[in-house]
A and B are shown apart, each in its own frame.
Chain A
């Protein structure tokens, strides 16, 4: 644990990526093999399930700090991180633990099944026997996602440096369903391994947004375009008569989409498709909002299956006849995909093809992009015909060219303190639109991005001076500031007070030139909802 806490302290002492990578590389060279596996697991979001719920954690930390619970809560809202709050309020200790990271994780896993009393004793004992950084890391392992300014990409880069294994090969090895409890560093990283090959997805190739005009991409004939579908990016794997569905977040979601079991029959073994899971009913693509009902559920009921059936809109093929074909040109891969699709397509099979479109000039492409909302897409994807399928987010061969967002002018009504680097600053906002009589502001969206640091600071200072009421961490503020809110999509929704759900709302502009009377109404917002049309 000492070495791991020291690693986190080092990472915390710099703002420079190279220094972070060097610290990680050194750690990967020196740490015991099993600790390395756990470090990789933690930094790729594979921490063990939370052994203690946060209510109990707060209560027990409060006991140790001898402060009232409400004071802990207030401190937490200001600090913005539960583990950090715990590490700060518990009386300082200069001690350090000789236990290894692996030992701590094994204890934490075992803790889940223990009685509350045993859990409490265990936490109290360790909290008081660890120094600040160890206590922070220990609490972080227990409380949840381990976000500390090190991305999986950065960790993989350091691991590549430490092991001299190619970074793309490592990214592939780290995909999928491996268990840090049982796997060794040798098996996970060093050995060529066939056993877990069966379910293993390929790292997704991700596109950057186009920066300027598409004309800069050169000859239009070198590019395919397709619509950018608004669903869940997924990889569907058929190997040895088994189906695996992976989401982009590297989550195995096979069980959530039972309709895809039909692929096992119709698609040959050794096939991996890249595509988008979309809601599709009565011949039309639904909205992302429809899909929400399928995402959060562990067990899908018959009713949900009937209400929101899904399809895979396939746009690429990464493995064919058991061979990795990511090195082939996109045009060649598309040929294979289209041939396969023509052979298997049917009314019942939930497999659709994302059509590629060719243009004779960029102007035509721009016109097609204008049609995006009609066909329920977010814009266009531009893919170079001769491009291989790369690993991760890379510039050059694939670009997303989204439609301009929808916008509306809304009034800031509530504010909440942010987390992480925005701790102690009011950066999470709620916005309202006028009701029909223009008397009341109805909440329609929350947003916390789009302003500059300087704007956030000035708004934070204003909020602190113009608070009307406090509801725990939330403050209502005097309606005064108007913001132009941009969003990608809009749909009717029963789950929202306003009756409307917007997708990716964010602040586009702080309209200091507008008074609150100039803000839009809920009715204006509803006018933006596209009329349902046929698409496919």
Chain B
């Protein structure tokens, strides 16, 4: 599951680069994730599955269940001789209206991410966050400025696109985001967007919003948007320091991972006694779970969570 070394059969939770790597002989994933990983990995041997459809490998029973992280993301249920384990990949409990919402799956052992496994993280409902984002856009427009909002090209970008209020203005996209969005359009409703190209005129951008990957911040590409105001939509924007460090004007707290309560409630809902944390604040989270009476431990992996997603060098950036 989400292996980082080449294997014969890789069961893939979702399309982010730290979970779906290149070089496996065959891939098994939810069918909505198939076009996404094909877009990222090119020619691969991949099989798409339905939610809950069971398949057996080496006498072990597997099935995929919605994780709510991004479109096409699954938890992986593993059963052998009545023992059930669930591997979450990345997940969030809030229904974002794009990904099929997270469903708790009963299990004995729950292998969970905990990217935001600290009580300092509490998400507000996304409807409130998007009201703020749209108000911010409208304010910038009133001041004659272009709004530039950063979000990872797979997942966050489409979530932003879906809820931006097109009554305010036009939505422009960075090439990396437009390419990914083209892949996703057949899977879910997306508003009309315009790709920023060399021919795009500065004047036409004014007052509109541009959705770009984090790596575009500070690049020469962004100069076309002058005068602009920047924002980032990420769970890390919870910290004032994180926003200031990235030299971004406005931070919107919007994450595709669970917040503290989301993690604790999910764990409870699985009924699991054994909890393995794979990435995030694993040591702290595990210590807390131990105090709560769980049989908890950490496991070192190469998954990076939202931080990795942000720092990742975006592919096809020049397109």
Measured between beta carbons, the chain A residues less than 8 angstroms from B291 are 68
Q: Give the shortest distance, in Å, between B126 (CB) and chain A (any CB).
A: 15
Report the separation of the CA atoms of residues A146 and B288 in the bound assembly, to the nearest whole angstrom: 32
CB of A118 closer than 8 Å to a CB of B: no
Closest to A425 in B: B245
A104-157 residues at the B interface, CB under 8 angstroms: 149
CB of B240 closer than 8 Å to a CB of A: yes
Query: Contact at A421–B245, with CB atoms within 8 Å?
Result: yes
Q: Mark B269-303, 1 if CB is under 8 A from A, else 0.
A: 00000000000010110011001000000000000
Closest to A16 in B: B249
Query: Contact at B249–A74, with CB atoms within 8 Å?
Result: no
Q: Give the shortest distance, in Å, between B105 (CB) and chain A (any CB).
A: 27
Query: Contact at B241–A81, with CB atoms within 8 Å?
Result: yes
Contacts A13-B249, A423-B239, A424-B239 hold; do A85 and B244 have CB atoms under 8 A apart? Answer: no
Query: Contact at A71–B288, with CB atoms within 8 Å?
Result: yes
Query: Contact at A81–B245, with CB atoms within 8 Å?
Result: no
Query: Contact at A78–B242, with CB atoms within 8 Å?
Result: no
Query: Contact at A75–B118, with CB atoms within 8 Å?
Result: yes
Query: Contact at A88–B120, with CB atoms within 8 Å?
Result: yes
Query: Contact at B119–A423, with CB atoms within 8 Å?
Result: no
Dominant SS among interface residues on chain A: helix
Q: How many A-B residue pairs have CB under 8 A?
A: 74
Q: Give the shortest distance, in Å, between A520 (CB) and chain B (any CB).
A: 32
The 8 Å CB contact of B239, one of A71, A72, A80, A149, is A80
Report the separation of the CA atoms of residues A79 and B120 in the bound assembly, to the nearest whole angstrom: 8
Q: Give the shortest distance, in Å, between A57 (CB) and chain B (any CB).
A: 16
CB of A34 closer than 8 Å to a CB of B: no
The 8 Å CB contact of B118, one of A12, A74, A453, is A74
Query: Contact at B250–A14, with CB atoms within 8 Å?
Result: yes
Closest to A149 in B: B244
The 8 Å CB contact of A420, one of B236, B241, B284, is B241
Q: Mark B90-125, 1 if CB is under 8 A from A, else 0.
A: 000000000000000000000000000011111010
Query: Contact at B240–A84, with CB atoms within 8 Å?
Result: yes
Report the separation of the CA atoms of residues A419 and B121 in the bound assembly, to the nearest whole angstrom: 18
Report the separation of the CA atoms of residues A348 and B230 in the bound assembly, to the nearest whole angstrom: 62
CB of B44 closer than 8 Å to a CB of A: no
Which positions in B face A, CB cutoff 8 Å? 118-122, 124, 229-230, 236, 238-245, 247-250, 281, 283-284, 287-288, 291, 311
**Additional A-B contact list (7), CB under 8 Å, known A12-B243, A424-B242:** A13-B249, A72-B119, A74-B281, A75-B118, A79-B241, A423-B240, A457-B311
What are 13 pairs between A and B in contact, CB < 8 Å?
A14-B250, A15-B244, A16-B249, A71-B118, A71-B119, A79-B241, A80-B239, A88-B120, A88-B121, A419-B241, A421-B245, A423-B240, A423-B242
